[in-house]
């Protein structure tokens, strides 16, 4: 014998309500930020993507500061001006003081830098969690065409010739948001 279902079960309004209730019941148990769910993957990806974007921006800013540092030092060395305002724009202490003393020393001995310095920097580390944030830079400096000469006759200062060598620097983000080079070393005993 067949049982007869009430006619109201097949009416469109009841059918939509029943389907909606089933969808919410089944769909509701599958929602949420369970590990492995699409929603959880999207939220986990956002901080990672955001961290990657911040690191990329830090690298870009640090390399710009490093390029500015090299340009400012070349300009100040060629002019023999240890107080060139561009130095403060890209450098911070202790490197700023060391660079100024080197330029002043060369000037007092009647020397200056001429020629071209070739740089090929790469970022070796980014630490945005340290306080302050830092970016480590490694460079292969080609100083073969960059000479220390006597200002008077443009003769090369004895013992001052350079070749290609490794250089390292640290860019630090200061409270005002600027990235400045505050540590730098020339490793002339390490050719590159």
Structure confidence at residue 82 (pLDDT): 95
Q: Which residues contact 114 (CB under 8 A, 6 or more apart)?
A: 78, 146, 147, 149, 154
The neighbour count for residue 102, using CB atoms within 10 Å, is 14
pLDDT at 16: 32
Q: Which of 71, 67, 66 is nearest to 84 (CA)?
A: 71
**E strands along the chain, which residues?**
111-115, 121-127, 134-142, 146-150, 164-173, 179-187
pLDDT of residue 39: 45
Q: What is the pLDDT of residue 44?
A: 52
| ∠ Cα 121 125 126 (to 5°) | 110
Q: What is the pLDDT of residue 64?
A: 97
* Bridge partners (DSSP) listed for residue 173: 179
Domain boundaries, the chain: 37-187
pTM: 0.72
Could you give the 3-state DSSP secondary structure of residue 140?
A: strand
Please give the Cα distance from 138 to 168 (Å, whole number): 5
Q: CATH says 37-187 is which class?
A: alpha beta
Its sign, for the CA torsion 142, 145, 147, 151, is: negative
Contact at 8 Å (CB) between 148 and 106? Answer: yes
pLDDT the model gives residue 164: 92
Distance CA 26, CA 73 (A): 68
Question: Going residue by residue through the chain (192 aa), what tens digit of pLDDT does each one get?
Answer: 444 444 444 343 433 333 333 333 333 444 444 344 444 444 455 666 688 899 999 999 999 999 999 999 999 999 999 999 999 999 999 999 999 999 999 999 999 898 888 999 999 999 999 999 999 999 999 999 888 999 899 899 988 778 899 999 999 999 999 999 999 999 988 988
CA triple 146-121-102, angle to 5 deg:
45
């Amino acid at each position: 014998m067949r049982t007869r279902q009430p006619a109201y079960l097949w009416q469109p309004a009841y059918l939509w309500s029943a389907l909606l209730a089933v969808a919410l019941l089944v769909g509701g148990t599958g929602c949420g930020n369970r590990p492995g769910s699409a929603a959880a993957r999207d939220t986990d990806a956002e901080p990672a993507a955001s961290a990657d974007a911040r690191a990329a921006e830090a690298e870009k800013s640090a390399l710009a500061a490093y390029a500015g540092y090299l340009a400012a030092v070349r300009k100040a060395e060629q002019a023999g001006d240890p107080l060139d305002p561009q130095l403060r724009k890209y450098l911070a202490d202790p490197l700023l003081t060391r660079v100024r003393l080197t330029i002043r020393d060369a000037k007092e001995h009647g020397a200056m830098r001429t020629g071209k310095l070739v740089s090929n920097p790469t970022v070796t580390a980014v630490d945005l969690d340290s306080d302050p944030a830092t970016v480590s830079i490694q460079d292969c400096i080609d100083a073969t065409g960059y000479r220390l000469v006597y200002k008077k006759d443009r003769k090369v200062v004895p013992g001052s010739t350079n070749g290609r060598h490794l250089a390292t620097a640290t860019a630090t983000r200061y409270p005002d948001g600027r990235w400045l080079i505050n540590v730098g070393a020339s490793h002339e005993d390490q050719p590159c």
